Amino acid sequence: MLLKPLEILLVEDSCTDIILMKKMLQKVNHETHLHVVKDGIEAMDFLSKKGEFNNKPRPDIILLDLNLPRKNGKEVLKEIKEDNDFKIIPVIILTTSDDDKDILECYQSHASCYLTKPLDLQDFDRCINAINNFWFQFVRYPLNY
């Protein structure tokens, strides 16, 4: 059982998807803290506690879009999984791409799972509920790392 609220880093550039994610997470789970960055450079700065992110907590889990400005999600995933300080953080790919090449490349780069964003609002809600039910309710995370 997690003794502290789960720290979630959402790496997403779509304002609509950010708003949806915030609303749906608030609805399904009040025991999370959602932090949002809008591109791959900010994601790495957040993890490295650079600049404006110097006082931010280490995320327990990362929700990562692939189609990002400045540095795409695949590049971010590779950097995370090649860094000894970050590689144990689970990374859930949550993107519009259902291209087999993207899916394969993400798993080869050690993504924890790959989910295609549903276009339908009801399906998106079911997807967020599934993420919550598994990743935020049942998965155990180390407390001290």
Q: Given a cut of 80, is residue 23 above it in pLDDT?
A: yes
List the chain domain ranges.
6-136
pLDDT band at 24 (very low <50, low <70, confident <90, very high): confident
The runs of H, that is alpha helices, within 52-135 are: 73-82, 100-108, 121-131
Could you confirm whether domain 6-136 is CATH 3.40.1030.10? Answer: no
pLDDT tens, residue by residue, 87-104: 999 999 999 999 999 999
Contacts of 77 (CB under 8 A, 6+ apart): 64, 91, 93, 106, 109, 110, 111
The beta strand positions in 12-127, using DSSP E, are: 32-37, 61-64, 91-95, 113-116
- pLDDT at res. 139: 86
C-alpha 83/C-alpha 88 separation (Å) is 9
Q: Given a cut of 80, is residue 28 above it in pLDDT?
A: no
pLDDT band at 48 (very low <50, low <70, confident <90, very high): very high
- pLDDT at res. 140: 83
C-alpha 28/C-alpha 103 separation (Å) is 27
